[in-house]
Structure formats: C-alpha cells, structure tokens
C-alpha cells in the first residue's frame, strides 16, 4: 500500500508517517515548512518533497493524507481529487488506526504532549507493546510514534478544529481547559463544549482521568458516563501529589509521592523539573493504576523517561549562557514554565525570547500574555508567527511589547526576525544568562543556531 502525506512534516503527520512506515506501508510526502521533523523521517528513508506539486501525486498512490493546515487550492490536493484518489485528513487517518484498539486519548489545553509521552513510554517499558502518536519527538524513542502489537493506542488528541470528533476512546485524560484557538472557538463556552462532547462519548466500561484542581475541568467531567478519577495537588483528589521534593540538580531527578484513598501508592521519581511535570506524571500514574499495572514497574519506567523535544529542552551553551527551548504558546504555559526556570536558575538573568503564535490568539489573550513574564528578567518578542492559519491580523508584536512595558517599563523589546535575534544575542550573552526560546513557531532556530547546532532546512 502506497501512502502520500501532504504536509508530512507536522508534529502529528510526521508521527503518522513513521507509524505507517513501521506497519510496512510505502510512505512519502511533501512539505515546505521549517523541516523540524525532517531528520526523523529521513532516518526511516521516507522521501519528502520540498515543494507542493501536482507531479508528486502518482497514479499508483492508494491513500492521500493531508494536514488540516493544507488549503483546498494546494496543487497536490487538486491533483489527488482530479485522480479520484482516496483522501483522508490527518485526524481521520489517525482515527482509522486508533479506533481499532483500546484507545487512550490525552486532551486539554496544556500538558498533552508530555502526558501522552509518559503514558506511552511507561506502557512500552513494562511490556505492553503499545502504539502511540505524540506531538513532539520523544527523546527515549528518537521519534514521535511507536507501532506496537499490544491492545493500547495512546494519542495526543488535539482539540483544534474539533479533531476530537473523529476519535472513539476507551479512556481519556483531560489535563486542563483554558480558552484557546479563538480563531476556531470564538467564545470560551464553545471551547469548553468540545471537551464536554468528547468525554461524554467514553463508554461506560471505560474511564476518565481529569485534573481535579480545576473547577472548569471538573464541570466538564460531569458530562462523562464512565468512571472518573481526579488527580492534582489539592485534598479530595483520587490521586493526590504529596511530599514533593526540590529538584535534585546532581541526580537530575525530583521525588514525589502519590496518595490514593489516603494511602501512599509509592514514591516516584521524574527527571523533569517543574510542578506542571508532576501533574503530567500524576495523570500518567492514574491511568496506569486504572489499567491495574504494577506500580513498581511503573515507577521504574517513569524514572527512565527523558522528556520530549521542545519541552524545556536543554539545547547547549553560548558564551557560557544556558540555552533552553520550550513550546509554550499560551499564557498559562508560559507562566508555569518560567516559574520552573526561576526555581532552577534563581541567581541567573533569565531572558525570554517569545514568538507569538497566531494573530487571533495574541489579540484575544493579549492582557494575559503581557502578565505571563513575571519570572523573566528581560523579554524579547519576535514578529507574530501566523503559520498556515493566518497571514495577517489586527494586532502586532509591538502591541504585546507595549503592554508588557506598561506593567514593567523597559522590560520588553521587539526583535522582528529570527536572523536579527541570532545576530543580537551572539555577542551579548554571558555565563550569568539563561536564554529561553519560547513559542509554537520556529523560534527554536535561534537557540539551536546560537548553540552551533546544524539546522537542516533541506
């Protein structure tokens, strides 16, 4: 079977491509983006065309999968329809595989990627042989998908454009609900409703694991007809995080306990900093408990988890300065990440280089973005990354810079482009600095280039 993927280098589509390859299909595709996932595709010998062209769509293709960011006027879309080839959007194609197994879908505004990766890693390590699709490269795997023969299939279930409607989950993790994607969900109520609809479809014999410290998530959970478990820091959660220890810099580990029904399940260790990663781990542990897995084996597997790309990822150094990259693109994510960074590097000068993602999100959440950088000493903002969704909007990065400076005079400055940012920082960093590239666009190129890492754009 020959499969062609239009927009193959997206986080999800690249993972799906690797999974198809592992299943024995002939896979190829095209993309004209930033090629962040090119290396992992190349390692599997998956051919990728750099331009969208009708000539790439061969007659013998059995299935064309396209990213939801691809527009109808794409020449490959037009050619595939002209040839009457079978076509599926990315979420439809993923659902075809996911719905055949006991599917565990991780959804919510924040924490999806890491939580999905932790669950899949644990199940893989303890011999469950799962399948999984994660929205970022999992450092333990060197890719963002695994194709197992076991019963479980774990996915990062994106709510944008209501991709959730295609999935029929056995279990769901709901990590958080903070209004996002205002270009598709104009109101907060509409955004919440998509999660309510999703959890209502979990079968009675399935289960829902939900972040119990959030009243909004808790209200959404009431739509479910299955068994519900809560996790979090607060008393009353079914799985409560307790006895959290400070980050051990020498061991690169953090210890914590999970309490269930007032009894300690056991102590766990995780090699990721930040309280938000304790929540991600607690969600995964809750799922494993509901699957009746051995908690000692779960703890050992969790200890070996290395994290995912672009989630507080250490990139290297420049002039002694520490370079970190993070995907945070929502105010709540930025605040949580910078709080963790401040805890780790309390005596250093923390520099945030932020790349706003989408005009509508920046406009709708502007006051929240402006107050997200309390734990940064300096903030630099790139021009808004419109991506395939938008080419222009009613707001600019200068509006965000002005709003930040309204609260903290002279704290923020505009650096329009990535080359300008690289040029600006290359001689200004020192050992007292931590530079964090932040955002869902291609801001990662700045810290990678400063660290002397090769960026493969071909």
pLDDT band (50, 70, 90) for residue 40 = confident
Q: Is the pLDDT of residue 20 over 80?
A: yes
pTM above 0.85, yes or no: yes
Give the three-class secondary structure for 141.
coil
Q: Mean pLDDT throughout 15-28?
A: 94
How far is Cα 119 from Cα 79, in angstroms, rounded to an integer?
Answer: 40
Residues 366-391 pLDDT 10s: 999 999 999 999 999 999 988 666 77
CATH code for the structural domain at 2-89: 3.40.50.720
> Dihedral angle at the C-alpha atoms of 56, 58, 62, 65, nearest 10 degrees?
20
DSSP 245: P
Name every residue whose Cβ is closer than 8 Å to that of residue 189 and which is 6 or more positions away in sequence: none
As a whole number, the mean pLDDT across the chain is 94
What is the distance between the alpha carbons of residues 444 and 36, in angstroms, rounded to a whole number?
9
The confidence score (pLDDT) of residue 455 equals 53
Using CA atoms, how far residue 323 sits from 238, 273, 317, 433, 443, in Å, is 38, 16, 5, 9, 12
User: Which pLDDT does position 310 carry in this prediction?
Assistant: 87
- Using an 8 Å Cβ cutoff, are 314 and 398 in contact? no
pLDDT digits (tens, 9 = 90+) for 398-434: 999 999 999 899 999 999 999 999 999 999 999 999 9
Instruction: Give the side-chain half-sphere CA count within 13 A for 34.
Output: 15
pLDDT band at 86 (very low <50, low <70, confident <90, very high): very high
pLDDT exceeds 80 at position 80: yes
Look at residue 182 and give its three-state secondary structure: coil
First to last CA, the chain: 27
Distance CA 150, CA 130 (A): 5
Per-residue pLDDT tens for 293-343?
Answer: 999 999 999 999 999 988 899 999 999 999 999 999 999 999 999 999 999
Residue 430: predicted pLDDT: 97
Tell me the residue ranges of DSSP E strands in 139-206: 143-146, 152-156, 171-174
Rounded to whole angstroms, the Cα distance separating 324 from 311 reads: 9
In this prediction, what percent of the chain has a pLDDT beyond 90? 88
pLDDT of res. 281: 98
**What is the bridge-based pairing of β-strands 378-381 and 87-89?**
unpaired
DSSP-assigned letter for residue 364? H
Report the percent of the chain where pLDDT is more than 70: 97
CA distance 255 to 200: 35
Q: Where in the chain is CATH 3.40.50.720?
A: 2-89
**Residue whose structure tokens are 């893989």:** 124
Give the DSSP letter of residue 56.
G
pLDDT confidence tier of residue 458, bands split at 50, 70 and 90: very low
- For 248-288, what is each residue's pLDDT tens digit? 989 999 999 999 988 999 999 999 999 999 999 999 999 99
d(C-alpha 234, C-alpha 348), whole Å = 31
Whole-Å CA distances, 55 to 35, 63, 200: 21, 16, 44
Q: Return the minimum-mean-pLDDT range out of 30-44, 176-190, 318-332.
A: 30-44
CATH code for the domain defined by 313-450: 3.90.190.20
Residue 386, pLDDT score: 82
State the span(s) of the chain assigned CATH 3.40.1190.10: 99-303
pLDDT of residue 236: 94
Structure tokens at 19: 């999974």
Delimit the CATH 3.90.190.20 region(s) of the chain. Answer: 313-450
For residues 253 and 243, give the distance between their C-alpha atoms in angstroms, rounded to a whole number. 14
Question: What is the assigned CATH class of domain 99-303?
Answer: alpha beta
* Backbone angles phi and psi of 383, in degrees to 5: -60, 150
């Amino acid at each position: 079977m020959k499969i062609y993927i239009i927009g193959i280098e997206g986080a999800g589509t690249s993972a799906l491509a690797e999974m198809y390859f592992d299943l024995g299909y002939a896979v190829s595709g095209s993309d004209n983006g930033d090629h962040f996932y090119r290396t992992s595709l190349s390692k599997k010998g998956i051919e990728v065309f750099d331009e969208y062209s009708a000539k790439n769509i061969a007659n013998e293709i059995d299935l064309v999968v396209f990213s939801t960011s691809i527009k109808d006027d794409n020449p490959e879309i037009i050619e595939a329809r002209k040839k009457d080839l079978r076509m599926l959007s990315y979420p439809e194609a993923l659902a075809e595989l996911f719905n055949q197994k006991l599917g565990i879908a991780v959804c919510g505004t924040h924490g999806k990627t890491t939580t999905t990766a932790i669950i899949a890693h644990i199940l893989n390590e303890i011999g469950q042989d799962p399948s999984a699709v994660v929205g970022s490269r999992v450092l333990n795997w060197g890719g963002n998908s695994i194709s197992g023969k076991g019963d479980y299939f774990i996915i990062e279930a994106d709510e944008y454009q209501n991709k959730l409607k295609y999935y029929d989950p056995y279990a769901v993790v709901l990590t958080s609900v903070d209004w996002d994607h205002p270009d598709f969900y104009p109101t907060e109520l509409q955004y919440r409703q998509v999660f309510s609809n999703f959890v209502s479809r979990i079968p009675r014999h399935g289960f829902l694991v939900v972040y119990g410290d959030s009243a909004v998530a808790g209200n959404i959970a009431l739509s479910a007809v299955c068994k519900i478990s809560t996790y979090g820091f607060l008393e009353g959660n079914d799985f409560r995080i307790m006895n959290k220890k400070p980050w051990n810099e020498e061991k690169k580990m953090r210890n914590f306990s999970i309490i269930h029904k007032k009894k300690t399940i056991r102590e766990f260790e995780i090699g990721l900093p930040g309280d938000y990663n304790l929540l991600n781990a607690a969600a995964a542990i809750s799922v494993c408990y509901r699957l009746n897995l051995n908690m000692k084996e779960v703890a050992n597997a969790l200890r070996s988890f290395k994290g995912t790309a672009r989630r507080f990822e250490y990139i290297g150094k420049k002039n002694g300065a520490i370079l970190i990259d993070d995907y945070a693109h929502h105010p709540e994510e930025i605040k949580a990440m910078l709080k963790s960074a401040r805890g780790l590097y309390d005596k250093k000068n923390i520099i945030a280089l932020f790349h706003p993602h989408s005009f509508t999100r920046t406009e709708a959440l502007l006051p929240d973005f402006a107050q997200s950088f309390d734990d940064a000493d300096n903030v630099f903002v790139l021009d808004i990354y419109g991506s395939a969704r938008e080419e222009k909007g009613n707001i600019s990065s200068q509006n965000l810079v002005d709003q930040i400076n309204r609260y903290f005079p002279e704290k923020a400055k505009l650096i329009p482009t990535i080359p300008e940012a690289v040029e600006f920082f290359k001689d200004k960093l020192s050992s007292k600095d931590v530079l964090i590239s932040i955002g869902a666009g291609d801001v990662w190129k700045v810290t990678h280039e400063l660290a002397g890492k090769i960026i493969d754009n071909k």
